Amino acid sequence: MNKKKRIIVSVILSFTVLFSGLAVLVNYWSRTPYGRLDPMVALFLKVIIGDQNSFSNGKSVAESRKFLIDTSRFVSGSGPDLPIVKNIDIPGLAGKIPARLYAVEGKNLPIIVFYHGGGWVLGNLDSHDPVCRAIAKETKALVISVDYRLAPEHKFPAAVEDCYAALVYMYEHGKEFGGDPTKIAVAGDSSGGNLSAVIAQMARDKNGPRIAMQALIYPAVDLSIEQTESYKNFGKGFMLTAEDMKAFASAYLKNAEDAKNQMASPIYAKNFKNLPRAIVIAAQFDVLRSEGESYARKLKEAGVTVKYISYNGMIHGFINSLRFMPESNAAIREIAAEMNSAFKN
C-alpha cells in the first residue's frame, strides 16, 4: 500500500472511530427515565443548549432575547421563499403594532393571525419568520405575524390587547391585503398558543370576529404553574424549565391574582362551549405537556372539535427546528391540513 492510500485509510478509520464514539454518546444522552429523546434532540440539548437558554438562571432580558433569535436562526434556517413578505403597522390601544404579512400568489386567501412564543418576554417577527413562511406555504393562506408588546416593559394585559386588536384589524381590513375575513384563524406557539386560546375566548365573548380555527402549539395555558405531571418530570433539563416558566409568569403578570384570570390563563375560563375548532400540538418531553392535554380535554368535553397530537422524543420549541427536525415540518403539515379543512366549512 503506497503512502497516499495509507493516509486515506487512516483518515477513514479516524472518522469511523469518531462517529462511532459520537453515536455511543448520543445514544447515552437520549436515555431518560421517561423514554427516549430523539437523537437529534439529545444532541441539541447537550451540545448547543446546555444551560444557556435559562431565562431564570441570571441572563438579562436583552441577552435572553438575543439568544432566542440567534438559536432560532440556527435551527430554522431561512424558511421557504414566498412571493409576498411585507411589513405593516396595525393600530393598537397603545400605538402602532408592527406586523408582517406572508402569502403565496392569489386573492381571497384565508387569514391566519400568528402570535409568536417566547414567554411573553422574548421573541419577535424575526424569531418566528421561518415558521410563518412555512405555514403560509403549506396552507396557501395569508399569514400575519404580530409583534405584540412584551413584558416586563409591558405587563399583562398589554399583549392580549395587541393580539385582539390585530385580529379585529385583519377582520376589518383583510380584503385590502388579499385576504378573506370570513375565513380567519389564530395560531401560536407556547406563549403564542396561550394568546391564541385567550383571543379565541375573547372573540366569542365579545361577539367579535368569527374564528374558524385555533392552532395551539404546546400552549402555556396555566400561569399558576401548577405542579402537573409534566412539571414534575420535565421541569429541568429539557429546554424550557419550570423555573423559566415561573420567571416568565412573574415578568408578565402584575400580581399573583392575575395567574387565574382567564385572559392570562385560559384554562380557568368558566365556559368552553362554542369555541373554534382546535388543533393542539404537544411534545413528549415538555414541561407544558400536561396543561396542553388538559386544555384539549376541556374543549372536547364542551363539544369543540379537537385534534390533539403529541410528538414522541420532542421537546418544547421543536416546531422552530425546520432545518433539523422532520417532526417540525410534519407538525406544520398537520396544522395546515386542519386549517384548510376548517376553512372549507
Q: Which residues are catalytically annotated?
A: 190, 286, 316
C-alpha cell at 283: 411534545
Name residue, grid cell 414534575: 232
The maximal CA–CA distance of the chain, rounded, in angstroms, is 82
DSSP 122-186: S--TTTTHHHHHHHHHHH-SEEEEE----TTTS-TTHHHHHHHHHHHHHHHHGGGGTEEEEEEEE
Residue 10, H or E segment: helix 3-30
CA 187 to chain centre: 8
Name the 3-class secondary structure at 17.
Answer: helix
Name residue, grid cell 405587563: 155
